[in-house]
Amino acid sequence: MLNRLKNIGLMTLVVSALTIGGFSAANAAGASAYPLKKYDWPHAGPFGMFDKASLQRGLQVYKEVCASCHSLDMVAFRELKALGYNADEVKALAAEYEFPNGYDDEGEEKYRKGFPQDYFPAPYANEEEARDANNGAFPPDFSLLGKSREHLSLFTPWNSIYGEDYIVGILNTYHEDAPEGVELAEGMSYNEAFPGNQIAMAPPLFDDMVEYADGTPATTEQMAKDVATFMYWAAEPKMEVRKKMGLKVIIFMSILTIMLYFVNRRVWRKIKKGDDLA
Amino acid sequence: MTTKDQVEHEEGVTRRNFLYVATGAVGAVGAASVVWPLVDQMNPSADVLALASVEVDLTAIPEGQTLKILWRGKPIFIRHRTAAEIKTAVADNGATDLIDPEDDQARAERPEWLIMVGVCTHLGCVPLDQRGDFNAWFCPCHGSHYDISGRIRKGPAPRNLEVPKYAFLNDTTVKIG
Amino acid sequence: MGSSNYQPTNKAVKWFEDRLPILGLMHSTLGAGYLAPRNLNYWWNFGSLAGFMLVVQIITGVILVMHYTPHVDMAFRAVEHIMRDVNYGWLIRYTHSNGASMFFVVVYIHILRGMYFGSYKSPREVLWFLGLVIYLLMMATGFMGYVLPWGQMSFWGATVITNLFGAFDFYEGMGESILHLLWGGFAVDNPTLQRFFSLHYLLPFVIVGVVILHIWALHLPGSNNPLGIDAKGPGDKIPFHPYYTAKDLFGLSFFIVILAIFIFYMPNIMGHPDNYIEANPMVTPPHIVPEWYYLPFYTILKAVPDKLFGVIAMFASILIFFVLPWLDGSKVRSAKFRPTTAFFFWLFLINTLYLGYLGTKLPDEIMIDMAGGIDALTMGRISSIFYFAYFIVIVPLVSRMESTKPVPISIAQSVLDANKKG
């Protein structure tokens, strides 16, 4: 028995050492030096689900503020149902946009209103136009930003940087003037959370910039949190269904594991004791 | 007569069998539920399903014209019929050369709008507009003539041009599919 | 996989078996016909787990191919199409990406088990070789698979790793020619992506072939066991089925729970976030890190100041496993009876994990804050030297000089002794 316990202990040690060595390592790089404020996101953790009201507010901030520079290429209007809109509301949201629709008899481009199956249109026709309009910088697409800025560490969670915290950090830590001794390049702003502190994006959010339909005060921090939630949803739209299925799978497999443990013990009973040898 | 030993033995067997059968059953349920995602991934994906129905704005189609759109990978003909065409179509309901007899009223919910899948029922070619013996649709592949209701009148095609499922959302918008 | 004593009772089965004895083959491979030592511990579960992961990777991989497009303009978007639109696509892709990491975890434990209990020693050298071939094929497959999503780490990982082969620059332009051949162009680009896709699809089936040879080579001498002694008498062995099928199923079920935790609750923890940015040949990420399973070898590469010798050292660090059966001169297999060997084995494991950790560090990062600070490069060199010293000096000397503990006469005897003690 003692020997067996020792073996199990050893096994746990080796397995966890291997995993620690591997996984925490794979993510250690690239952290920002700025200590980001960690928020309690309602969608964090194994049971966390999206705050639908916040998602809708985030969509509003994206549409009214961010969308003038940032595309959202991979999200279709039909997916907005996940934000709590019904089919008619989704249709109306899509119809706010226009899409090229072939050419008329004079060879001029024709337009039609958007349908749920359309994707969010990009603000610029191409990267060159985007750079030209933004002082040479290219505003990144929003579809995957929520995931491509996070640096997760399984065994040193205190070093993990979550995409949402990073986005809020960027939006909240602009300084009007660079600290003394820091020379800002032409057209750059000073930002504490951004690696290198010089960011090409001018401060995008100001208090009361948008008017929320649900009456939530539109502080800069609130807008940043809402748009970060929205961006994380855009990056990981299947999160809710994933976590719900995960719970079922893990409960099911745990039961099966326990049953198989007893099956195994029953099968081995005589052999373990060495009864067949005596 | 059974001895105590035998009873114990048999109880042991039953208990053991129950454990084995129950575990096997649970395992089988697990295996079966793994199979479903592996099969379902072959079904049309969300972006494909989103295109399963299209809404068409009818204001852009003048009388006497046909709009062709692509729906579920096939051409759809939306014909804005003239009063004369409607008259001809209805009058031909009793024509003797109908291969697949059908009333025009059954083919067009609103007589001025004829909506059909533009695929010849013979071998799948796309018929041409305003051609053939009936100045309606004519399939160039094997010479099938359709009338202004899309009914097969002459040639090898066995059935009339298919009418898809559609619904008028209002006077100017139709939803196909 | 030898001759079978399988005797079907059903007439139809017997008719079929007479014409194609495949059930007999299964019976003697994984059924009651294969006699295995009775004392295998849970470390012996990892072989069947590796087989399971190979099947999972092939099934999910074949499915992913149904929705993926190997083209630089479409690959990144195709993966997101799988993640967003395909029914259960996110589940299949996360299983495949996390499955790759778990496959390596399982195989690493399987290899370490072989090292600790001396499973590479005579008469199982060819079995060990075939295992190493599988491991090398896995490394190639994993590397090429990571390129397919065409994210930033895909592209730059591919660039860095393929450039290693440019080190073989023995005459003017040779390195460059090798690179052009690998890339199908002058940099990692669409031709590279397409050939990696082709090979990533092919190699797993090659692995299946080698796995069959691996199992064949296992069944001739039979499984090693924790005592490392030959199983001789009938009391030493038990049929694989039902004993080890039950044990393997229990282990498998437990393992799936662990796998599920990763797939459903931390699916991106083993990947690099930069891989959710589409590949851009104009922008290098600030810090390129390979997948975790290559990290120890990556550190050895970085530790050598010369490009060619760095690459040679890196390949040597893996290929040296092939000569392990002859470096180890001990008559006793299991480290259970070789305390000094066991001690150095654990030291080797810790050192290799540390090498992996160093793989993520920039060369000038300070690892130990003393004597003015010792940086990652220096630590990497020390660790690399120990890594090779383990094989070249420690194993040959310790195995020949160590006085081993007494080995039981038979497996059956050790079971009886253990029971007597309670």
- Report chain C's terminal Cα–Cα distance, integer Å: 37
Mean pLDDT for the stretch of residues A207-228: 96
Question: Tokens in use for C67?
Answer: 């929705």
Q: pLDDT band at residue A210, thresholds of 50, 70 and 90?
A: very high
Tell me which of A15 and A94 has the higher pLDDT. A94
pLDDT in tens, chain B (177 residues): 445 555 555 666 677 789 999 999 999 999 999 999 999 999 999 999 988 888 888 888 899 899 888 888 889 999 999 999 999 999 999 888 899 999 999 999 999 999 999 999 999 999 998 888 998 999 999 999 999 999 999 999 999 999 999 999 888 889 998
The alpha-carbon gap from B42 to the nearest alpha carbon of chain C, in Å, equals 8
pTM of this structure: 0.89
CB-count burial class (<10 Å; 0-12, 13-18, 19+) for C340: middle
Distance CA C24, CA C20 (A): 9
Query: Which among C304, C289, C291 is positioned nearest to C387, based on CA atoms?
Result: C304
Q: Residues 37-96, chain A: which have Cβ within 8 Å of B? A: 76, 78
Angle at C273 between CA C272 and CA C275, to 5 degrees: 75
Under 8 Å between Cβ of A46 and A167: no
Taking only Cα atoms into account, the Rg of chain A, rounded to an integer number of angstroms, comes to 26
| Sheet with B144-146, edge to edge strand ranges | B128-131, B136-139, B144-146, B152-154
Query: Per the CB < 8 Å rule, is B37 touching C87?
Result: yes
Distance CA A93, CA A78 (A): 10
Distance CA C120, CA B162 (A): 70
CB-count burial class (<10 Å; 0-12, 13-18, 19+) for C239: middle
Residue A219 scores a pLDDT above 70:
yes
Helix (H, G, I), strand (E, B) or coil at A199: strand
**Residue A257: its chain B contacts at CB < 8 A?**
none
C35 touches chain A (CB under 8 A): no
Q: pLDDT band at residue A178, thresholds of 50, 70 and 90?
A: confident
Tell me phi and psi for residue C86, to 5 degrees: -65, 140
Q: What is the per-residue pLDDT for C416?
A: 85
Distance CA C8, CA C12 (A): 9
Chain B residues with CB under 8 Å of a chain A CB are 16, 19-20, 22-23, 26-27, 30, 46-47, 50-51, 54-55, 57
Closest Cα in chain C to B36: C88
Inter-chain contacts counted by CB atoms under 8 A, chains A and B = 32
User: For C248-273, b where at least 16 C-beta lie within 10 A, e where not — what string?
Assistant: bbbbbbbbbbebbbbbbeebbbbbbb
The alpha-carbon gap from A73 to the nearest alpha carbon of chain B, in Å, equals 14
Query: Which among C104, C201, C228, C108 is positioned nearest to C147, based on CA atoms?
Result: C201
Binding partners of A (≥3 Cβ pairs within 8 A):
B, C
Residue A26 scores a pLDDT above 50:
no
Closest Cα in chain A to C237: A271
C59 touches chain B (CB under 8 A): yes
Q: What is the per-residue pLDDT for B1?
A: 44
Query: Per the CB < 8 Å rule, is C276 touching A148?
Result: yes
Distance CA C299, CA C380 (A): 6
Query: Which among C384, C420, C388 is positioned nearest to C304, based on CA atoms?
Result: C384
Query: Per the CB < 8 Å rule, is B26 touching A78?
Result: no
Distance CA B132, CA B154 (A): 10
Under 8 Å between Cβ of A276 and C235: yes
The partner residue sitting opposite B22, judged by closest CB among A78, A116, A259, is A259
| β-bridge partners, B117 | B76
Helix (H, G, I), strand (E, B) or coil at A205: coil
DSSP, res C340: H
Mean pLDDT for the stretch of residues A135-145: 94
Tell me phi and psi for residue A44, to 5 degrees: -85, 165
The alpha-carbon gap from A41 to the nearest alpha carbon of chain B, in Å, equals 28
Angle at C394 between CA C392 and CA C399, to 5 degrees: 105
**Residue A151: its chain C contacts at CB < 8 A?**
273
Q: What is the per-residue pLDDT for B12?
A: 62
In Å, how far from its chain's centre is CA A124?
23
Question: Tokens in use for A187?
Answer: 């057209």
Under 8 Å between Cβ of C124 and C225: no
In Å, how far from its chain's centre is CA B10?
61
Residue A1 scores a pLDDT above 90:
no
Distance CA C286, CA C272 (A): 13
Please, which residues have CB within 8 angstroms of residue A94's CB and are 6 or more apart in sequence? A77, A113, A114, A115, A116, A118
Distance CA B64, CA B80 (A): 6
Element (H, E) at B26: helix B4-40
Q: pLDDT band at residue A25, thresholds of 50, 70 and 90?
A: very low
Distance CA C48, CA C241 (A): 13
**Residue A48: its chain C contacts at CB < 8 A?**
none
Tell me which of A167 and A179 has the higher pLDDT. A167
Q: What is the per-residue pLDDT for A31?
A: 43
Query: Per the CB < 8 Å rule, is C85 touching B48?
Result: yes
Angle at C264 between CA C261 and CA C268, to 5 degrees: 95
Q: What is the per-residue pLDDT for C130?
A: 98
Under 8 Å between Cβ of C252 and A227: no
**Residue A262: its chain C contacts at CB < 8 A?**
none
Strands B54-57 and A98-103, sheet pairing: unpaired
Size of chain C in residues: 422
Question: Tokens in use for C408?
Answer: 């039981």
What's the mean pLDDT when you consider all of chain A?
88
DSSP, res C278: B
The partner residue sitting opposite B55, judged by closest CB among A76, A115, A256, is A115
Query: Per the CB < 8 Å rule, is C91 touching B37?
Result: yes
Distance CA C247, CA C157 (A): 39
Distance CA C269, CA C255 (A): 18
Q: pLDDT band at residue A32, thresholds of 50, 70 and 90?
A: very low
Distance CA C77, CA C150 (A): 9
Question: What are the CA-CA distances from residue C127 to residues A61, C71, C133, C137, C213 (Å)?
Answer: 62, 39, 10, 15, 8
Query: What is the DSSP code string of C256-273?
Result: HHHHHHHHHH-TTTTS-G
Q: Kindly tell me the sign of the dihedral angle through the C-alpha atoms of A31, A34, A39, A42.
A: negative
Helix (H, G, I), strand (E, B) or coil at C283: coil
B101 dihedral zone (left: phi>0; alpha: psi -120 to 50; beta): beta
What's the mean pLDDT when you consider all of chain C?
94
CB-count burial class (<10 Å; 0-12, 13-18, 19+) for A91: middle
**Residue B26: its chain A contacts at CB < 8 A?**
252, 255-256, 259
Under 8 Å between Cβ of A223 and A211: no
In Å, how far from its chain's centre is CA A106?
45
Tell me which of C298 and A177 has the higher pLDDT. C298
Distance CA B132, CA B138 (A): 5
**Residue A117: its chain B contacts at CB < 8 A?**
47, 50-51
Mean pLDDT for the stretch of residues A173-190: 88
- What is the CB neighbour count within 10 angstroms for residue C321? 20
pLDDT in tens, C118-138: 999 999 999 999 999 999 999
Distance CA A249, CA A229 (A): 27
Tell me phi and psi for residue B153, to 5 degrees: -120, -30
Q: What is the per-residue pLDDT for C326?
A: 97
Q: What is the per-residue pLDDT for A12?
A: 58
Residue ranges, chain C, pLDDT below 70: 1-4, 422
Element (H, E) at A129: helix A127-133
Q: Residues 25-64, chain B: which have Cβ within 8 Å of C? A: 27, 37-38, 40-43, 45-48
**Residue B20: its chain A contacts at CB < 8 A?**
263
Query: Per the CB < 8 Å rule, is A259 touching B26?
Result: yes
Distance CA A23, CA C360 (A): 10
CB-count burial class (<10 Å; 0-12, 13-18, 19+) for B103: middle
Q: pLDDT band at residue A14, thresholds of 50, 70 and 90?
A: low
Closest Cα in chain C to A276: C235
